[in-house]
Amino acid sequence: MGKLIFSISLLLLLLDCCHGGKVGVCYGRSADDLPTPSKVVQLIKQHNIKYVRIYDYNSQVLKAFANTTIELIIGVPNSDLKPFTQSQSNADTWLKNSVLPFYPTTKITHITVGAESTDDPHTTNASSLVVPAMQNVLTALKKVGLSRRIKVSTTLSLGVLSRSFPPSAGAFNSSYAYFLRPMLEFLAENQSPFMVDLYPYYAYRDSPSNVSLDYVLFESSSEVIDPNTGLLYKNMFDAQVDALYYALTALNFRTIKIMVTETGWPTKGSPKEKGAASPDNAETYNANIIRHAVTNQGTPSKPGEAVDVYIFSLFNENRKTGLDSERNWGLFYPDQTSVYQLDFTGKNGGFRSNSSGGNSRGRSESWCIASSKASEIELRGALDWACGPGNVDCTAIQPSQPCFQPDTLVSHASFVFNSYFQQNGGTDVACSFGGVGVKVNKDPSYDKCIYITAGGNNTKARNASALSSSASTSHGNESLVWILSLWLVISLLFSLQTMNLLAL
């Protein structure tokens, strides 16, 4: 029996541990100039986006996603909550008329019941309606046998915390206790995710003298230490996620997983947002959040535990009120052209190269090398990352290869940094490496060691090599996992058969 339990546990671990977080987008429709839902779905498929969140249950949108592999989060708006709390039959009828006609041809995976209800000034006592409505929606799903396939949750803002720094001191606001505890009990009991909308952008916008831009953009070369745990944080996103995990742990909810249902960065803002909202900052933040998620980096308190993220938003939405930034979070303009380029697979560090080899911002010919002032620890860490998760082909710096000599860390790092820089569009971000990369305009090639550039055939060959190496490694890992999984299944069946024989 012990071997049987071990086999099952190992099988589940193998199946669960070998993939990164999911990256999706939020498809908001507060605009009067957007493409039709069918055209939007084509755009989403064109850009390899596999996960989408919408904020309602619009029938035309649900129909447009039919017969695709795109997984969809749908929502019950705050304004619709009250009928769901008044009777179970209202929830049953809603499910029958608004969801079941489209399922499973439309892959609905989650239903959010209410959105940021604690911050809603328009719906009276919205948060008090959420949990009763969630219970009735879940009961309706149970009646049709879908409660395990479609998860029920609600979305919250970071405002539910009374304290978020240091992360280990994360605590929920006691004024929301009437709502939070029953909600958390619901999530834990039904294995539903804690859905939260996180925006490091606002922390920087509101306090630029106290918050580093590099820290919120995942570009910091320094770290913020949590004095209680000694854990080091290189970006605010991780600190915010961990603050939530610690707040959950403080209430003894240790098994609930966090899903970030909104995060992003605006490309344009009002005068007070001038230093924060920009296309470059938006591209940098979103490219880095994609890379962070798909490479399964986790957070300092939960390393390797993937966090799913949804980027806000698919389009600029011209009907939104408030500061200019509210209307400029989009990845695409209404005419379906990109505001800036992103790669949702994460293969190119989150950036999507255009046909000429660069990204949307363009560049003159330049190279990226290692700073001579960088410490050995910083260079080694950056080099290891580039040759690993960064998908750079580092064959050329191995013994007997063209760029092995001089056999110094700075020389090896320079060649690798440049390779990563060129294959990821030649952007400033791609030459950061935590502050130890330096852009230069003089070709650093020497002897037979040729530093590639983003236009030549050599670049394309190296890029193909790097991507095929990455792909083969990925497929190799997947194959190994499934071979082991198959072996465990066979062992499990054999164990069950043996147990049956012994019982006889």
Please give the positions annotated as active site: 116, 262
Estimate the crossing angle of helix 457-503 against helix 2-17, to 10 degrees: 160
Q: Which amino acid is at 394?
A: C
Contacts of 74 (CB under 8 A, 6+ apart): 54, 56, 57, 62, 99, 108, 110, 111, 112
What are the counts of helices (DSSP H) followed by strands (DSSP E) for the chain?
A: 14, 16
Q: Residue 212's closest CA among 263, 267, 281, 158?
A: 281
Q: Residue 202's closest CA among 254, 166, 159?
A: 159
Distance (Å, whole) CA 105 – CA 114? 24
CB of 351 closer than 8 Å to CB of 341: yes
Distance (Å, whole) CA 106 – CA 170? 38
Q: Residue 198's closest CA among 99, 67, 107, 299?
A: 299
Before 166, cis peptide (omega within 30)?
A: yes
CA distances from 87 to 83, 84, 127, 144, 349 (A): 7, 6, 18, 17, 49
C-alpha 380: how far from its chain's center? 26
CB of 71 closer than 8 Å to CB of 104: no
Cβ–Cβ contacts within 10 Å for residue 182, how many?
15
DSSP labels, 264-319: ---S---GGGTTT--HHHHHHHHHHHHHHHHTT-EETTEET----EEEE-SB--TT
DSSP labels, 107-158: EEEEEEEEESGGG-SSSTTHHHHHHHHHHHHHHHHHHTT-TTTSEEEEEEEG
Distance (Å, whole) CA 110 – CA 100? 13
What is the token pair recorded at 230?
């000694």
Contacts of 322 (CB under 8 A, 6+ apart): none
